[in-house]
Amino acid sequence: MDKERITISIDGNTLSDLDSLIDGTVIRSRSHAIESLVNEALKKRKIKTAVIMAGGQGTRLRPITFDVPKAMIKLGSKTILEHQIEWLSNSGIKNIILAIGYKGETIKEKFKDGSDFGVQIKYVEEEERLGSGGALRMMKSLIHDPVVLLYGDILCHFDLYKMIEMHKQRNRAITVALKTVEDPSRFGVAEIEGNKVTGFVEKPDAKNAPSNLINAGVFVLNPDSDRFFPEEKFFEFFQVLINSSKQGELTGYPFSGAWIDVGVPETLEKAKEIWR
Direct distance between the N- and C-terminal alpha carbons of the chain, in angstroms, rounded to an integer = 35
Closest among 124, 161, 157, 140 to 222, alpha carbons compared: 140
Annotated domain spans of the chain: 47-274
Q: In this predicted model, what pLDDT tens digit does every residue of 106-133 receive, in sequence order?
A: 888 888 898 999 899 998 877 666 666 6
CB-CB contact of 238 with 203 (8 Å):
no
**What amino acid is encoded at 225 in this protein?**
S
Superfamily of domain 47-274: Spore Coat Polysaccharide Biosynthesis Protein SpsA; Chain A (3.90.550.10)
CB-CB contact of 178 with 215 (8 Å):
yes
What residue ranges of the chain have pLDDT lower than 50? 44
> What pLDDT does residue 262 have?
77
Q: What is the pTM of this model?
A: 0.76
Long-range contact pairs involving 79-84 (C-beta distance under 8 Å, separation at least 24): 79/110, 80/152, 80/153, 80/155, 80/262, 81/52, 81/54, 81/107, 81/110, 81/111, 81/152, 82/117, 83/155, 83/275, 84/52, 84/150, 84/152, 84/155
